[in-house]
Chains A and B, each alone.
Chain A
Amino acid sequence: MFMSSSTDWQVDVLEFAQKCIYCGYCSLCPTYKELKWETYHPRGILEQIKLYFTEGTKEEVKLDTSKSLFEAIFACTMCKMCENICLADIPLLKIWEQIRQESFKKGRWNPSMLSLYNKVKDTYNIYGLPSEDRLTWAKMSGLVMTRRTKKKAPLAYFIGCQAAYSGKMGQVAPSVVKILRKTKTNFTILGTDEWCCGSPVFLAGGYSVGKSFAKHNLDELKKLGVKRLVTACSGCYRTFKIVYPRVLGDSWDIEVLHISELANELIKAGKLKLKHKFKEKITFKDPCELVRHCELIEAPRDVINSIPNVRFEELPSNRNEALCCGGGGLLKLNDSELVGKVNSKLISEIEYSEADIVANGCPTCLDTIMTGVKNKGLDVEVIDIAELILRAMGDK
């Protein structure tokens, strides 16, 4: 069985940095656009990598460079716009992750990141809350999950920390569960044995802890004979789709679906019927982790367009060009003001679209968009796509 080590997943950052042709296309980086110094420009970060990693660089210079390099790397939302537009095909995201790891190794994380890291490590969730509370969302919504918890089934619903613990996301998990129940889909959940997918740990550069999370989740899923995994969280989705295969190798053989993909499949099979008509105009904000990281573009649109007589309008920047909400890459922990600035561009697009409902497939986006919409005083409802699907099924 192939299992990767941390070195297997590493790339030669210096070699790639030297491949930059300096066209500057990566200036579309949403945080560089706000911060404006070229030290935050992805091209500028590559220049700093050259300074930092070139053999023979004086320690003093290295130290100087590391200050601005690490600062820049944690100002990144990992939205992947830079990598998608890069003319030299440089795997920028891998590089950014590696620089975060380097900063961890050098003990240069900021205290709030370190605190998150420790919370996840100790309590297996990002909030530092007890594992026993993982099913509070079910209790709050009056759902009894005992018959579904840790039962053998081909499909598992992975709830994710935000949907499980955060009051703001309270409707996400109940919506997914109701969709699955109404479509008579056989599924299981890991209950209190679900651990954070590890996304924030990997994003922070903590490779070995992240790997132990991946192994735990895989073992638990295997015990239940799970072949397919559905999630409504784009961060979990990306981690399962991209990070787990890298970390676990061939042993990770579980098919991963976003709720929009599963819903689409159920619609096509005639098991899910969207019959409720919406008067409201609907738009969809592509989460970066779905669209640019995992190329999941059409499924949410197909689902929305299956709603009878739907008034669906794309945001001006959509699909691969979708704007970042500002909340990714753990930026919230590093610079919440910057999150707001990045987010305001997206909110302007939402306002321009004149949509009444913004559907989304990511708890982080949901949270930042809700805040942005509230701050701007817009009369827009922000909901997860699972909730939209459930409403379209006729559930009040």
Chain B
Amino acid sequence: MTLKKKARSRFVRFLGKQLREDRTTLQIYSRDMADLPSLVSIFFQNIPDGVILASSVKDIQTIYSVANETKTPITQRAAGTAGLGGSITYKKGLVIDTKGFEQHYLVNPLDQTVVVSPSYVFSDLQRKLKLEGFSLCSYPSSYHSATIGGWIAHGGHGIGSAQYGGVLEQIVEIEVVLPTGHLVKYTERDHISLFVGSHGTLGTITEVTLRVKFDIPLKHQGCTFDSPKELIQGLEEIVRIFPYSVWFLNPEHVALFNETFGYNLPIRYVAIISKEVNFEEEELEFSRLFNNAVRNAGGQILDRRYTEDIWQFRFKSFSMLKQCKDFVVSEVILPIEASDKYIRKLVSKFKGNIHLEGEVISPTHYALMMYLLYDEKLSSLKKTLLNLKLFNLTIGSKKVKGTPYSTGLWFSGYYGKIYGKDELRRYKEFKKSVDPKNISNPGKVLSPKLRFLPIVSLKFAVRLASRLIL
């Protein structure tokens, strides 16, 4: 479905120069971080009909007005760093590039909050905050590219989530243009939570008030463990000392880390723990508690010379991917408790070839990135199969009560699993009330129907394929 003549002329009339329809632009806006094999793309129409660079609330309102009138699907895209297909079109229509949003920024030092445009990239915002003695509480490790709006709509966690919570806990107020065109501000958690992980399906985020904190120095410690069991025990102990961040790698990933960054870390499970430390006594206390925690779990303390600079690599872990010709990635959220079996299963399934990287996101859970790395360029078929395999493992983590990281397109239909049944009900009700024509990022969050077999949902098809193939 290409833009109908009437729709096109309306968009051109109101947004003229901000609309591009040339082939090259459309191609560039047809993918996100996950470059999916061409085989998969037959299921959806990822080349949009046009791209609009929106810069203001008024633009978004105009877009929704014309989109509703002409039933044109719109898909918001910020930095395009998420890999779940949220920012690419499912059934063509227009991509709305929200990075063009005019940027504003205002710190309220008394409330410890900052009001920002959604298009702010984390590193830019953090640089500004630091100049005023403040810091973000939690932020994704895609810090150098991801935007505030994209992180909220994707629903995420990040560095600092162990102490300060995920994206929901960062938001004090959110301003959204609903698909009806109304501009609303929400401050109640119940409302804000609807927009976290909504992938733009409930409206377009136009301003956010985030919680910030004083820029307290971090101290880092490291430890190693011999087995998944010890690692999990270690994490259980470590979360009790209220760390700011806990980041860990499996031995395969440690070996790759050494190769990429020229280190000589022991090839075991390595964890780097960071804590905010105001003064010397606190630092000593951190060391004491940390040593006890690691000892209790049977781990070993890592030489402190390593730990300070390893922290700098937090934002560079994707750099390790350059060592291989092709890769497939997935991410799952797991409870810390008893998840060692799941890790063991992953390691044995891929005969030690799976690379794992985890980040503790709350006192009870962690996010686990799973990478399969290959020395050769994968054929489209092989890549599809591997994607399905990882998909199956992500979904199949339910025995340990694991959930996919977010929905987007690939995990559409798993919203209830991630956020709970009540939230799903609330989400559906809200969606129905604000977007009856389903024009705001269709195909995301709730599983869409296959375009050539409209009685089957994408969720069902992908699940079936992943089961059959494996």
- Please report A residues at the B interface, Cβ cutoff 8 Å: 19, 21-25, 27-28, 36-39, 44, 47-48, 51, 61, 64-65, 67-69, 85, 87-89, 316-317, 352
Contacting pair A25 B144 (CB below 8 A): yes
Chain B residues, CB < 8 A from A65: 23-24
Interface residues of B (CB under 8 A from A): 20, 22-25, 27-29, 31-33, 35, 51, 53, 79-81, 97, 99-100, 121, 123, 127, 131, 142, 144-146, 316, 318-319, 321-322
Closest to A90 in B: B322
A39-B127 CB under 8 A given contacts A19-B322, A23-B33, A24-B146? no
B51 to nearest A CB, angstroms? 8
Chain B, Cβ-Cβ closest to A46? B28
> What is the minimal beta-carbon distance from B264 to any residue of chain A, in angstroms?
21
CB-based contact B322/A27 at 8 Å: no
Residues of B within 8 A of A39 (CB): 24-25, 28
Is B142 in contact with A87, judged by CB distance below 8 angstroms?
A: no
10 A-B pairs besides A27-B121, A37-B20, A87-B319 with CB distance below 8 A are: A19-B322, A22-B35, A23-B144, A23-B145, A24-B79, A48-B24, A64-B23, A67-B24, A87-B316, A88-B319
Q: Is A64 a contact partner of B318 (Cβ separation < 8 A)? A: no
In whole angstroms, what is the CA distance A22 to B321 when docked? Answer: 11
Contacting pair B25 A37 (CB below 8 A)? yes
Chain B residues, CB < 8 A from A38: 25, 28-29, 80, 97
**Given A27-B121, A37-B53, also A64-B22 (CB < 8 A):** yes
Residues of A within 8 A of B79 (CB): 24, 27
In the complex, which residues of chain B have a beta carbon less than 8 angstroms from the beta carbon of A67? 22, 24
Known: A23-B81, A27-B79. Is A68-B97 also a contact (CB below 8 A)? no
Instruction: Say yes or no: B145 contacts A24, CB within 8 Å.
Output: yes
A60 closest partner in B (C-beta): B23
Q: Which residues from B are CB-within-8-Å of A44?
A: 28
B99 is contacted by which of A36, A85, A88 (Cβ under 8 Å)?
A36
Q: Nearest 4 CB-CB pairs, A to B? A: A24-B145, A87-B319, A25-B144, A36-B100
Q: How far is the CA of A28 from the CA of B144 in the complex (A)?
A: 8
Bound together, the chains give a CA A109 to CA B465 distance in angstroms of 51
Contacts of A23 in B (CB 8 A): 33, 81, 142, 144-145, 318
Complex Cα–Cα for A33 and B24 (A):
19
Residues A21 and B322 in contact in the complex (CB < 8 Å), given A68-B24, A87-B316: yes
Known: A37-B20, A47-B28. A24 touches B33 (CB 8 A): yes
What is the bound-complex CA distance between A28 and B322, given in angstroms? 20
When distances are taken between beta carbons in the complex, the residues of chain B under 8 Å from A352 are 131
Q: With the chains together, A291 CA to B23 CA distance in Å?
A: 37
- The distance from the CB of A34 to the nearest CB of chain B, in whole angstroms, is 10
Which of A22, A64, A85, A316 has a CB less than 8 Å from the CB of B24?
Answer: A64
Main DSSP-derived SS at the B contact region: mixed
Bound CA span A88–B22, Å: 29
A22 & B322 in contact (Cβ 8 Å cutoff): no
Most buried by A among B20, B24, B146: B24
Closest-CB distance, B44 to chain A (whole angstroms)? 18
A24→B143 CA distance, assembly (Å): 10
A61 and B23 form a contact (CB under 8 A): yes
Whole-angstrom CA separation of A69 from B25 in the bound complex: 10
Residues of chain B contacted by A47 (CB below 8 angstroms) = 27-28, 31
What separation, in Å, do the CA atoms of A87 and B318 have in the docked complex?
6
Nearest neighbor of A87 in chain B, beta-carbon distance: B319
Q: Are B35 and A24 touching (Cβ within 8 A)?
A: no
Chain B residue at minimum C-beta to C-beta distance from A85: B144
> B38 → chain A, closest Cβ, in Å?
13
B121 to A, closest residue via Cβ: A27
Alpha-carbon gap, A61 to B24, bound state (A) = 8
Smallest CB–CB gap between A240 and chain B, Å?
Answer: 30
CB distance from B395 to the nearest CB of A (A): 24
Q: How far is the CA of A85 from the CA of B144 in the complex (A)?
A: 9
List the A side residues contacting B318 at CB < 8 Å.
21, 23, 87
A88's partner among B29, B145, B322 (CB-CB below 8 A) is: B322
Q: A68 to B99, alpha carbons, bound, how many Å? A: 19
Q: 5 A–B contact pairs at CB < 8 A?
A: A22-B31, A23-B144, A38-B25, A65-B23, A87-B321
A215 to B31, CA, bound (A): 46
Contact residue among B127, B144, B146 (Cβ-Cβ distance under 8 Å from A317): B127
Residue of A nearest to B131 (CB): A316
Bound complex: CA A22 to CA B81 (Å): 7
Closest residue of chain B to A50, judged by CB?
A: B27
Docked Cα-Cα span, A22 to B30, in Å, equals: 13
Distance in angstroms between the alpha carbons of A307 and B121 in the assembled complex: 38
Point out the residues of chain A lying under 8 angstroms from B100, CB to CB.
36
Closest A residue to B123 by beta carbon equals A28
Once the chains are docked, how many angstroms separate the CA of A38 from the CA of B48?
Answer: 14
Q: Could you say which residues of chain A place their CB within 8 Å of the CB of B20? A: 37
Partner of A51, one of B24, B33, B121, B322: B24
CB-based nearest A residue for B32: A22
| Cβ–Cβ < 8 Å partners of A316 in chain B | 127, 131
Closest CB-CB distance, B317 to chain A, in whole Å? Answer: 9
CA distance A44 to B79 in the complex (A): 11
- Once the chains are docked, how many angstroms separate the CA of A89 from the CA of B24? 25
In whole angstroms, what is the CA distance A65 to B24 when docked? 5
In the complex, what residue of chain A is closest to B316 when comparing beta carbons? A87
Shortest beta-carbon distance, A21 to chain B, in Å? 5
> Which of A24, A68, A89 is the one whose CB lies under 8 Å from B142?
A24
Tell me which residues across on chain A come within 8 A of B131, comparing CB atoms.
Answer: 316, 352
Could you say which residues of chain A place their CB within 8 Å of the CB of B97? 36-38
Residue of B nearest to A45 (CB): B28
> Smallest CB–CB gap between B55 and chain A, Å?
8
* A28 contact set on B, CB distance < 8 A: 121, 123, 144
Q: Which residues of A contact B321 (CB under 8 A)?
A: 21, 87-88
- A36 proximity list for chain B (CB < 8 A): 53, 97, 99-100
What residue in chain A is nearest B29 (Cβ atoms)? Answer: A38
In the assembled complex, which residues on chain B have CB atoms less than 8 Å from the CB atom of A25? 144-145
Contact among B22, B33, B121 for A68, CB-based, below 8 A:
B22
Give bound CA distance, A37 to B142, whole Å.
20
Nearest-CB residue, chain A, relative to B319: A87
Q: How far is the CA of A317 from the CA of B28 in the complex (A)?
A: 30
The answer to whether B145 and A27 have CB atoms under 8 Å apart is yes
Q: How far is the CB of B403 from chain A (nearest CB, A)?
A: 24
Bound CA span A89–B260, Å: 11
Contact A24 B80 (CB under 8 A): yes
Instruction: Give the nearest-CB partner of A69 in chain B.
Output: B24
Q: Name the A residues within 8 Å of B23 (CB-CB).
A: 61, 64-65
Q: Closest chain A residue to B34 by CB distance?
A: A22
Question: How many whole Å from A342's CB to the nearest CB in chain B?
Answer: 14
